Amino acid sequence: MINRKKIAARLGWPAFMLSGMLFVGCGPAEQAENTKDKVDSGIQELNEDLRADIEKDKAALTADLERLKVRTETKIINFEERLRDDKLTPAERKELEDAHKEMKGQLVRIEVATSNVGVATRDSWLEVKDESNKVVDDIDNWFERQAEKMDKKTDADRDGDGH
């Protein structure tokens, strides 16, 4: 028969080894938890930086769109005042009406882009940003083309670009 001391000794050694492994295992588990916390903190910090960058870009793009909106509305009012002139020839009136209609369309584009920028999410931001920048560029280019047309019609250099 096996006496109790031998059974206790035989069971004690594996129990001792198992408890030792569990104790040693706490170190790597604790280290893994610390690493996970550091990674989570780093990801959170990157997310906050990205959110701040997006908000900064949104503010700048909204300011550009507002600038264009004011310029476009001013141009529309100018066209409406000029269209009240009874002395316009049919060709001049048609040209002004077409430009007025085009400016109204541009104003709608600006308003849609401004709305899209306001509701853009992190997932949709890059696409909205690209589309809105295209609107800004297109309308700025339209104003430049109009200034060039005016220069050619009047043989003047109103916009100061040398031609």
Per-residue pLDDT, 129? 94
Identify which of 14-18, 25-29, 136-140, 144-148 has the greatest average pLDDT.
136-140
Q: Where are the alpha helices (DSSP H) in the chain?
A: 4-83, 90-119, 125-154
Q: Which of 80-89, 94-103, 140-149 has the lowest mean pLDDT?
A: 140-149
pTM equals 0.67
Residues contacting residue 97 through CB under 8 Å, at least 6 positions apart: 83
The model's confidence at residue 101, banded by pLDDT at 50, 70 and 90, is: very high
- Going from the C-alpha of 150 to that of each of 137, 144, 153, the distances in angstroms are 20, 10, 5
Asked if 116 and 128 touch (Cβ cutoff 8 Å), the reply is yes
The model's confidence at residue 161, banded by pLDDT at 50, 70 and 90, is: low
The DSSP 8-state label assigned to residue 157 in this structure reads -
Interatomic CA distance for residues 24 and 97, integer angstroms:
84
